[in-house]
Chain A
Amino acid sequence: MAETDRVIIVGAGHGGGAVAATLRQYGFKGAITVIGTEPLAPYQRPPLSKAWLKGEADAASLALRPPAFYAKANIDLRLATTVTAIDPGAKTVTTDAGDTIGYDWLILATGARARRLPIPGMELAGVLELRSAADADQLKAALGPGKRLAVVGGGYIGLEAAASATALGAIVTVIERENRVLARVASVELSEAYQVAHRRRGVVIELSAQVAALEGVDGRITGVRLGDGRLIACDVALVGVGAVANIELAQAAGIACDLGITVDLAARTSDPSVFAIGDCTWRPLPHYGRDFRLESVPNALEQARQAAASICGRALAAPEVPWFWSDQFDLKLQIVGLNFGATHTVVRGDPATESFAVFHLTDDNRLRAVEAVNMADAFMAGRLLIAKNRELAPAQICDMSVAMKDLTV
């Protein structure tokens, strides 16, 4: 790192904002330019489906940093601007504002976009997705007492939005293609508990349900047509069926990509001057011996620290065990780890009480993941135990008289 070094960060989301701040925290003295397509300075996306939707958060509380921070930290924030091309040979990026800007280090924090369903009616008014604050504003405006919300996709975003909308008095139906919600991201035990919890609080859940089309009148949605012919009438539909990494810019520049931009544990891409962080990356998972794409704030922040440390010549922190959280109704879900290699599960606590944890173990009883609902100590113990990769006694895990803390010593 030289004092004249120039860093360009493509993407002004959680990762882009965090890496700019972390570079300054680590003593980077050179120029930092953050270029983002959205008109807003970096903000937190997790509250969009929760506190923001319920009107419990304002723009200021959503912001990653207060507006004055960027000028004070000498960070050039270029918003409502899109990078259209990277020239890795000349080390420049070109923007849709017509600028060509040179870099010594480039950090791609391009995120992911909502997957679109190849069905008729996606263009109707009232068919929404939820990735950005603008999306959340549209959804918020459409919700209220008695409004009917159809959620296509029973993933985290869909379920969080369903919970928030229910709290606002809306009538919610979740439509899921698989035979359980959270099918792609959670265990059967957790899926079942969340189905029960949502139904208990008034959400209708349709499982194994194909969506044939979104139907409307005068260009505005009126219902979701299922594969079996039934119509779920609605005033607004939220489509949350996963996300696709924004890798096109990197691909066009000849940077190696898989399902995301391929990076190492220093967040470096195949081009040694280019880093990538967050949802857009295809990254190693050292605790699991494989590569994967993670969609989470902790992942974006870990990689922001990796990229900043690499640029500033600092030692890298030990790799984190991936973790996630989701707040729905009064259920606080905390997940640590991924169940790669797990062959059996042990449940601590009783799911019926809405305070329990599912431990995912390998054949030889090493912990791979913990899904904890209103059981923070199981989550925290899991973080330590997965990293330790030590053999555990399943009987002790389910024994509520054994403190979680005692399993970690």
Chain B
Amino acid sequence: MPQVTFIEHNGTAHTVQAVIGKSLMEAAVDNAVPGIDADCGGACACATCHVFVAPEWEAKTGTRNEAEVAMLNFAAEVKPNSRLSCQIEITAAHDGLVVHMPDGQH
């Protein structure tokens, strides 16, 4: 199983096992990573699973879809490497993936 790392705004890192075929958001929720609330359960309806993908991983995590772009336009602290983690499906290529979380995501 690929290992992925979520880094809180205060620098605390959480390295967890992700499951191929599930979303990056689910890896966070399944492992109780604070800061990924995912209120809508992955329906791309709430923007509470916002992450920043580390630059070296942007190519492997793909591009934002249309609904995701619209949601992220209104998220706090949006950056060019912002993604909704519910829209990133984990593959074997994501072993070692690092994402950062914004401040104040609950």
Q: Which one of B32, B43, B47, B106 contacts A380 once the chains associate, using CB atoms below 8 Å?
A: B47
Is B62 interfacial (CB 8 A cutoff)? no
Q: Please name all residues of chain A whose beta carbon is closer than 8 Å to the beta carbon of B106 when the two chains form the complex.
A: 305, 317
Closest to B41 in A: A44
Taking a contact as CB atoms under 8 Å apart, the answer to whether A327 and B22 are in contact is no
| Chain A proximity mask over B35-71: 1 for CB below 8 Å, otherwise 0 | 0010111011111000000000000000000010011
Q: Please name all residues of chain A whose beta carbon is closer than 8 Å to the beta carbon of B47 when the two chains form the complex.
A: 380
Taking a contact as CB atoms under 8 Å apart, the answer to whether B30 and A65 are in contact is yes
Question: Closest Cβ of chain A: how far from B52's Cβ, in Å?
Answer: 19
B32, B44, B67, B74 — most chain A CB neighbours (10 Å): B74
Q: A24-B32, A47-B41, A297-B39 are in contact. List 19 more A-B contacts (CB 8 A).
A: A44-B41, A46-B43, A61-B22, A65-B32, A69-B30, A73-B32, A298-B40, A298-B46, A301-B39, A323-B46, A325-B40, A332-B43, A332-B67, A375-B70, A377-B73, A380-B70, A380-B73, A381-B74, A384-B74
Question: Closest Cβ of chain B: how far from A202's Cβ, in Å?
Answer: 24
Taking a contact as CB atoms under 8 Å apart, the answer to whether B71 and A376 are in contact is yes
- A/B interface sample: 24 pairs, CB < 8 A: A24-B32, A25-B32, A46-B40, A69-B30, A73-B32, A297-B41, A298-B39, A298-B46, A317-B106, A325-B46, A327-B43, A332-B45, A376-B44, A376-B67, A376-B70, A377-B70, A380-B70, A380-B71, A381-B74, A383-B74, A384-B74, A404-B73, A405-B73, A405-B74
B34, B43, B47, B71 — most chain A CB neighbours (10 Å): B43
Taking a contact as CB atoms under 8 Å apart, the answer to whether A25 and B74 are in contact is no
Closest to A300 in B: B39
Q: Please name all residues of chain A whose beta carbon is closer than 8 Å to the beta carbon of B43 when the two chains form the complex.
A: 46, 325, 327, 332
Q: Known interface pairs A377-B74, A384-B74. Does A69 touch B45 (Cβ–Cβ under 8 Å)?
A: no
Question: A-B contact count, CB below 8 Å?
Answer: 59
Is A21 interfacial (CB 8 A cutoff)? yes
Q: Please name all residues of chain A whose beta carbon is closer than 8 Å to the beta carbon of B44 when the two chains form the complex.
A: 332, 376
Question: Closest Cβ of chain A: how far from B59's Cβ, in Å?
Answer: 25
Taking a contact as CB atoms under 8 Å apart, the answer to whether B22 and A301 are in contact is no
Is B29 interfacial (CB 8 A cutoff)? yes
Bound-state CA distance A47–B44 (Å) is 13
Question: Closest Cβ of chain B: how far from A157's Cβ, in Å?
Answer: 16
Is A164 interfacial (CB 8 A cutoff)? no
Is A408 interfacial (CB 8 A cutoff)? yes
Is A334 interfacial (CB 8 A cutoff)? yes
Question: Closest Cβ of chain B: how far from A405's Cβ, in Å?
Answer: 6
Q: Known interface pairs A47-B41, A305-B106, A377-B73. Does A65 touch B67 (Cβ–Cβ under 8 Å)?
A: no
Question: Closest Cβ of chain B: how far from A407's Cβ, in Å?
Answer: 11
Closest to B21 in A: A61
Bound-state CA distance A46–B70 (Å) is 22
Question: Closest Cβ of chain A: how far from B89's Cβ, in Å?
Answer: 12
Is A66 interfacial (CB 8 A cutoff)? yes
Q: Please name all residues of chain B whose beta carbon is closer than 8 Å to the beta carbon of A332 when the two chains form the complex.
A: 43-45, 67
Question: Closest Cβ of chain B: how far from A254's Cβ, in Å?
Answer: 33
Bound-state CA distance A381–B34 (Å) is 26
Q: Please name all residues of chain B whose beta carbon is closer than 8 Å to the beta carbon of A383 when the two chains form the complex.
A: 74
Q: Please name all residues of chain B whose beta carbon is closer than 8 Å to the beta carbon of A65 when the two chains form the complex.
A: 29-30, 32
Q: Which one of B30, B40, B45 contacts A66 once the chains associate, using CB atoms below 8 Å?
A: B30
Q: Please name all residues of chain B whose beta carbon is closer than 8 Å to the beta carbon of A301 when the two chains form the complex.
A: 37, 39
Q: Please name all residues of chain A whose beta carbon is closer than 8 Å to the beta carbon of B67 when the two chains form the complex.
A: 332, 376
Q: Please name all residues of chain B whose beta carbon is closer than 8 Å to the beta carbon of A305 when the two chains form the complex.
A: 106
Bound-state CA distance A375–B67 (Å) is 8
Question: Closest Cβ of chain B: how far from A102's Cβ, in Å?
Answer: 27
Question: Closest Cβ of chain A: how far from B9's Cβ, in Å?
Answer: 15
Name the interface residues of A45-91: CB closer than 8 Å to any CB of B: 46-47, 61, 65-66, 69, 73
Bound-state CA distance A323–B45 (Å) is 10
Bound-state CA distance A383–B76 (Å) is 13
Question: Closest Cβ of chain A: how far from B67's Cβ, in Å?
Answer: 5
Bound-state CA distance A25–B34 (Å) is 7
